[in-house]
Amino acid sequence: MKKILLMGNPNVGKSAVFSRLTGVDVITSNYSGTTVAYTRGCMRLGGEKAEIIDVPGVYSLSAASKAEEVALDMLKEGDIVVNIIDATRLERNLKLTLQLMSRLSPMLIVLNMWDETKHRGIEIDVPKLEEILGVPVVPVCAVTGEGISDLVGRMEQSGVSAFECDVKDLWAEAGRIAGKSQKFFHRHHTFLETLADASITPLTGIPIALVVAAVSFKIVRFIGEGLIGYVFEPFFEKLWGPFIVKALAFLTPGGLLHEILIGKLIDGDIDFVQSMGLLTTGLFVPVAMVLPYVFSFYLVLGFLEDSGYLPRIGVLSDNLMHRVGLHGLAIIPMMLGLGCNVPAAMATRVLETRRERFIAATLMAIAIPCMAQIAMVMGLVGNYGAKALAQVFGTLFIVWIALGLLQNLLIKGDSPEIFVEIPPYRMPYVKVLFEKVFMRVKWFVKEAVPFVMLGVLLVNLLYALGVIEFLGKLAAPVITGIMGLPEKTVAALVVGFLRKDVAVGMLAPLGLSVKQLVIASVVLAMYFPCVATFAVLIKELGWKDMLLSSLIMIVSTLLVGGVLNLIL
């Protein structure tokens, strides 16, 4: 079976072309030995099955990053290279093209976003460009499908170029080729181009970012809570719960097997949050409480990604992120974490080095509360005014900054510069958007849900064996002595490992003072993440790094809780 590699700079529309060629039956996986993800699928070429691989986007083949190393390795295995170029940035994209041609691989070139050239006053002489480079050049618009059939038809005509250039000065060569094959015409800025300029300048970009974030979170919450309230909770309560009770009626309530599979019955009924059974809480948490937010966040994230906004927010936040040992694109896991920590933990993959992933995951798990927890804190602490809320969220922000600065100082390594293509704004292609969401949700169900269930099973066993109760009594002196909280808040901290928002809700009937509510809310946000996030972080970071991150969580929680107890 032939292997066809789709290669190009980031944000040139490779995913859209890939989707047009393969449909939805695709597989996303990590390249062996790395966290660099790539996607593969199949198509028919010349009556035979061919494998299409969407290679990670790179700017060159200099192997200066993990993505570039992966691209080089994949080049050795590919039969045909399809180099996808943003037709509106011909000169910038040609550097990679020249490097690919120098490797003497059979290839053809795709000029994507062909419709944009007309809007931008760009005219490219395709036959002239094809003559210069010596390989087929096909203009396409992947969003509408224009030129895709021509692309498939010309794939078998791909060949090795005889073009020779000075590899020591590829930029000059790219400029010379672009100068011979394209012309520019004067035109006025469109509204989207004016908005694009405004959204990357700090003075106007930061207010735009705040508006985008607020609207995004409202959409995510609306979709997520709608799916939970109208689809998943009714399914579990009216269908799955009664089915489990009848199917496992032969189990003795209170027995070990009953405790593991169903958990404790609350007033004779299944409480899907507190029962702690593998088939109750173990399924309810990832499927009914996390999956809706994962879906809605990936939907919004995909829209921001395909519209061209994400690179801009990355550039805007780059200076702040470098202070904590990260680069601008690390803002993505932080933004995701405000909705749900699970997709945020997965999103740390956008960072290339182990150091960056560790810092980002630790900061997110400690100082970024999820949307459900934020809502509960606002409902509970908000009754005491804006000052109390400011103390909770202000403390978490200070912790985020301080902990980031400290990790950047103590963990060896450099903060890489942000090299990201800033594409023009464009309307996302709906079919591609939903296919991308489907692939990401499919990955979550396949990879994350089993880990979540495993975590719930472990917690359930610890409950059944009395370990949790023992740890609660053991921690009580610390909770009361250092943090000034009553012993009865230990139960909330234990439940917080399962679900943070429920744990915050458990504080309501305890009659805590404003000071104690603020401390308890901060502590619940900072100590271990919920079991779903914890399970995913183990998979993403590995046991060694996750244990170190957990140690940082415990120490920082005790320190911050103690300091708040002294100063409030």
Where on the phi/psi map is residue 254: left (φ > 0), alpha (ψ -120 to 50), or beta?
left
Please indicate, yes or no, whether residues 552 and 423 belong to a single structural domain of this protein.
Answer: yes
Instruction: Categorize the per-residue pLDDT at 26 as very low, low, confident or very high, splitting at 50, 70 and 90.
Output: low
What is the mean pLDDT of the segment spanning 184-205?
77
Least confident of 23-37, 79-93, 207-221, 362-376: 23-37
Can you give the residue range of the structural domain that contains 22?
2-184
What is the number of domains present in the chain? Answer: 2
Alpha-carbon Rg for the chain in angstroms: 26
Cβ(218)–Cβ(226) under 8 Å?
Answer: no
Same domain, 154 and 276: no
Domain membership of residue 198 (yes or no) is no
Q: Kindly state whether residues 143 and 284 are assigned to the same domain.
A: no
Alpha carbon distance 272, 283 (integer Å): 9
The pLDDT confidence band at residue 552, using thresholds 50, 70 and 90, is very high
CATH number assigned to the domain comprising residue 75: 3.40.50.300
Is there a single domain that holds both residue 242 and residue 150?
Answer: no
In this prediction, residue 49 carries a pLDDT of: 84
Pair (154, 245) in one structural domain: no
Helix (H, G, I), strand (E, B) or coil at 250: coil
**Is 374 within 8 Å of 522 (Cβ atoms)?**
no
SS3 for 251-311 is CCCCCHHHHHHCECEECCEECCCCCECCCCHHHHHHHHHHHHHHHHHHHHHHHHHHHCCHH
Strand 80-86 relative to strand 2-7, pairing: parallel
CA distance 340 to 129: 48
The rounded distance, in Å, linking the Cα atoms of 111 and 87 is 5
Tell me how crowded residue 341 is: count the other CB atoms within 10 A of its CB: 29
Residue 416: what pLDDT?
A: 62
pLDDT recorded at residue 128: 92
Distance (Å, rounded) from C-alpha 393 to C-alpha 364?
14
- Count other Cβ atoms within 10 Å, centred on residue 162: 10
Lowest model confidence (mean pLDDT) among 193-207, 264-278, 314-328: 264-278
Residues 283 and 344 in one domain: yes
DSSP, res 61: S
Q: Nearest 10 degrees: CA dihedral of 375, 379, 381, 384?
A: 140
Q: Are residues 14 and 151 in the same domain?
A: yes
Q: What is the mean predicted confidence (pLDDT) over 366-381? A: 78
**123 plus 264 within the same structural domain:** no
CA distance 199 to 213: 13
pLDDT band per the 50, 70, 90 thresholds, residue 27: low
pLDDT above 60 (res 28): no
Asked if 135 and 159 count as a contact pair (C-beta separation under 8 A), the reply is yes
pLDDT band at 74, cuts 50/70/90?
Answer: confident
Band (477; pLDDT cuts 50, 70, 90):
confident
Which of 156, 184, 212 is a domain's end point?
184
Q: Give the pLDDT of residue 461.
A: 72
Position 31 scores a pLDDT of 47
Q: What is the mean pLDDT of residues 506-525?
A: 82
Residue 191 located in a structural domain: no
Residue 315: pLDDT band (50, 70, 90) is confident
Domain boundary (184, 219, 239) is at 184
Confirm whether 469 is domain-assigned. yes
Q: Mean pLDDT, to the nearest integer, of 305-334?
A: 80
Query: Please, which pLDDT band fits residue 64 given cuts at 50, 70 and 90?
Result: low
Q: Residue written as tokens 């250039």?
A: 165
466: in domain? yes
What is the rounded average pLDDT of the residues 464-486? 77
CA distance 532 to 527: 14
Tell me which residue of 95, 107, 84 sits closest to 174, measured CA to CA: 95
Task: Pick from 26-35, 43-52, 123-132, 443-452 the range whose average pLDDT is largest.
Answer: 123-132
* pLDDT in the model for residue 563: 92
* Structural domain ending residue among the three candidates 120, 152, 184: 184
The answer, yes or no, to whether residue 155 has pLDDT greater than 80, is yes
Shared domain check, 340 and 270: yes
In a domain, 197, yes or no: no
230 shares a domain with 172:
no
Q: Break the chain down into helix, strand, coil percent, rounded to 5.
A: 65, 10, 25
Q: Which of 62-66, 197-201, 286-290 has the lowest mean pLDDT?
A: 62-66
Provide the β-strand partners of residue 54: 6, 39
Compute how many other C-beta atoms are within 10 angstroms of the C-beta atom of residue 166: 10
User: How do 27-30 and 80-86 pair as beta strands?
Assistant: unpaired
Strands (E), 125-246: 137-139, 182-184
Q: List the structure tokens of 547.
A: 């244990």
What is the pLDDT averaged over residues 338-359?
A: 80
- Return the percentage of the chain with pLDDT > 90, whole number: 8
pLDDT tens-digit profile of 212-268? 888 887 887 788 888 988 998 889 888 888 888 888 878 777 777 877 787 777 666
The whole-number pLDDT of residue 181 equals 87
Task: Say whether both 134 and 261 belong to one domain.
Answer: no
Query: Is 333 a residue whose pLDDT tops 80?
Result: yes
Please give the Cα distance from 409 to 413 (Å, whole number): 9
* Inside any domain, residue 356: yes
Residue 467 identity (one-letter amino acid): V
Considering the domain boundaries, does residue 195 fall inside one?
no
The bridge status of strand 80-86 relative to strand 48-54 is: unpaired
CA angle in degrees (0–180, nearest 5) for 362-365-370: 155
Bridge partners (DSSP) listed for residue 50:
2, 43
> What gap in Å lies between CA 163 and CA 500, rounded to an integer?
61
* Contacts of residue 210, Cβ cutoff 8 Å, sequence gap at least 6: none
* Residues 6+ away with beta carbon under 8 Å from 214: none
In a domain, 455, yes or no: yes
Are residues 70 and 125 both part of a single domain?
yes
Q: Mean pLDDT in the chain?
A: 80
